[in-house]
Structure 1
Amino acid sequence: MLLRPRQILAPVIFATVFGYFGYHLVNGDRGLLAMVHLQRENQIADQNLAEAEATRKIWERRVSELRNQSIDPDMLDERARILLNYARKDDIIIFTPTR
């Protein structure tokens, strides 16, 4: 029993079209693999955002402590001299051993 070309042609065309769309469903620019890749990038971006927000809150707290209403001038002077290694002429400096 020999099949005629018309009987073979329709299934071959449908298989080709199905294969084409199936391939692009998985591997295309907007396919399943691209979706997985975008979801992974989204998770990384969310983590970076959370870290940036935490850092921003820390800096906002630090900056709010520098406002005129909440800063003690004596504490500021003392802290600045410690950080800058600065002393006045009349200061007495006591060296302590480091641990």
Structure 2
Amino acid sequence: MRDVLSQAADLLRRGRSLAIFLVLCTLIASFAHQAVKGDHGLERRAQIKQRIADMEAERDRLAAKRARLERDVALMRAAANRSNDLAEEQARALLNLARPDDIIILDPPRGDD
């Protein structure tokens, strides 16, 4: 009878050891799965890095587009100022008018007549 009890106790110890081993393996497998597939895992990190790269590329593209638009606006402002100045100069010459702060130099009439 002792032999049977001894075998049963040995089997129970082995069963407990096996159960602990299985629980630890399950925990390790769970942590490994979370490390790879979880919200903060390796796959998620790769996705975030790819998204960062995509957003940086879009930022650079938009910055280049903004620089082109700012250059175009500056050119348009310069052209508008030149055309305003040109229109004002032509109007003053045509109407024979001057501003109060303008310096006027008159050509004397020629005696060739």
Shorter-normalised TM-score: what interval? 0.5 to 0.7
Counterpart-to-counterpart distance in 2, 1:32 and 1:38: 10
In 2, distance between residues paired with 1:6 and 1:63? Answer: 79
Question: How many percent identity over aligned positions?
Answer: 22
Unaligned residue ranges in structure 1 (runs of 5+): 75-99
> Alignment partner for residue 62 of structure 1, among 72, 78, 93?
72
Specify the structure having the higher radius of gyration (Cα): 2
Runs of 4+ in 1 over 4 A off after TM superposition: none
TM-score (normalised: structure 2): 0.58
TM-score (norm 1): 0.65
Shift of 1:9: 1.4
Q: Distance in 1 between matches of 2:25 and 2:52?
A: 36
Code of the aligned partner of 1:48: E
**Unaligned residue ranges in structure 2 (runs of 5+):** 1-6, 85-113
Q: Counterparts of 1:16-95 in structure 2 under 5 Å?
A: 16-67=26-77, 70-71=78-79, 72-73=82-83
How many pairs align? 73
Structure (1/2) with the larger helix percentage: 2
State the alpha-carbon separation in 2 of the partners of residues 18 and 60 from structure 1.
57
Q: Which has the higher contact order (CA 8 A, sep 6+)?
A: 1
RMSD, matched Cα: 2.2
How many Å separate the matches in 2 of 1:20 and 1:7? 20
